[in-house]
Amino acid sequence: MRAIVLSGGGAKGSYQIGVWRALRELGISYEIVCGTSVGALNGLFFTTGEYALAKYIWSTIQLEDILKGTDAYFLEKSKTIIPYIGHYLFKGSFDNTPLKKLACELIDLKKLRKSSIRFGIVTTSLPSLYPVKVEVNQLEEDKICSFLLASSALFPAFPTIQIEGQTYMDGGLFDNLPIDFALEMGADQIFAIGLKKGDVLDEKYQNIPNILYLTPSKDLGGVLDFDHQKILANMRLGYEDALHFFQKNHF
């Protein structure tokens, strides 16, 4: 079985949608999707096949769709990390209520249930700081949105998520590229999409056959850089990088 593995990386996740466009054009199918953080949110679309919707969301998204009012304005005007540190120390995490609302509205439960593609995500439990692997297709419907948000709760930028008395935060803390989960789910071919230029696979994967890893040919910017032109450029780059990648690599 072939798996697509999607790493975390916040706003850089638009790159993965560009790669998906290339996969569609090349006729590369898959039976498993595993994602962490923004990779979990994108993974929902990869699982339900809603490419047009994913492209539209990323093409139109603004900071106001992620953060509430004054927090969005603050982040947009901040050019260094120092003002953010001050914001966290005195006010706590940003208010990402708009993102929570958007994410829950975008879940098409019927398409998810009908999909033949298995979908796994990773989050992190607190205070144990232990990675938690969840197969979304098997979740009760009222927990799906919560776990997607838990995987993408980029602490301390975003607040943690409570599910049945347990606290969760971003899965990227321990497994930002969930190849292990894909292997556990039965994948024997893996195409992993990273979001950091020049990143390389962990040594433990380098001797495992049929694992391909694509990373950006250019820097994608910051994890909270939702500049419209940057997002569009990153989508184009993902498409171009993937086409070039598969000229040299074959499944």
Question: Would you state the pLDDT for residue 46?
Answer: 98
Global pTM value = 0.90
Q: Counting beta carbons within 10 angstroms of the beta carbon of residue 143, is it exposed (0 to 12), middle (13 to 18) or buried (19 or more)?
A: middle
Distances (CA, A) of 124 to 74, 128, 166, 170, 187: 28, 8, 10, 6, 23
Question: Would you state the pLDDT for residue 24?
Answer: 97
* Beta strands 2-6 and 189-193, pairing class: parallel
Question: Would you state the pLDDT for residue 79?
Answer: 42
Query: DSSP assignment, residue 65?
Result: G
d(CA 222, CA 6): 17
Question: Would you state the pLDDT for residue 193?
Answer: 98
Question: Would you state the pLDDT for residue 153?
Answer: 85
Question: Would you state the pLDDT for residue 63?
Answer: 77
Neighbouring C-beta atoms of residue 63, cutoff 10 Å: 21
Question: Would you state the pLDDT for residue 160?
Answer: 86
Phi and psi torsions of 189, nearest 5°: -135, 130
Dihedral sign (CA 184, 189, 193, 197):
positive
Neighbouring C-beta atoms of residue 236, cutoff 10 Å: 14
Q: Is the peptide bond before 127 cis (omega within 30 degrees of 0)?
A: yes
* Interior angle at CA 22, CA 244 and CA 54, nearest 5: 140
Q: pLDDT (tens digit, 9 = 90+) per residue, 85-135?
A: 444 444 556 777 888 888 888 889 889 999 999 999 999 998 888 889 999
Question: Would you state the pLDDT for residue 65?
Answer: 81
Question: Would you state the pLDDT for residue 130?
Answer: 87
Per-residue pLDDT of the chain (251 residues; tens, 9 = 90+): 999 999 999 899 999 999 999 999 999 999 999 999 999 999 999 999 999 999 999 999 987 787 765 444 445 444 444 445 444 444 556 777 888 888 888 889 889 999 999 999 999 998 888 889 999 999 998 899 999 999 988 767 778 899 999 999 888 888 999 999 999 999 999 999 999 999 999 888 888 889 999 999 999 998 878 889 999 999 999 999 999 999 988 77
Question: Would you state the pLDDT for residue 116?
Answer: 95
Question: Would you state the pLDDT for residue 158?
Answer: 79
The answer to whether the beta carbons of residues 214 and 236 sit under 8 Å apart is no
Distances (CA, A) of 83 to 10, 71, 80, 86, 159: 19, 12, 7, 5, 18
d(CA 71, CA 69): 6
Question: Would you state the pLDDT for residue 92?
Answer: 55
Please compute Rg for the chain using Cα positions. Answer: 17
Phi and psi torsions of 168, nearest 5°: -130, 155
Name, in order, each residue with C-beta under 8 angstroms of 210's C-beta and a sequence gap of 6 or more: 188, 189, 190, 251
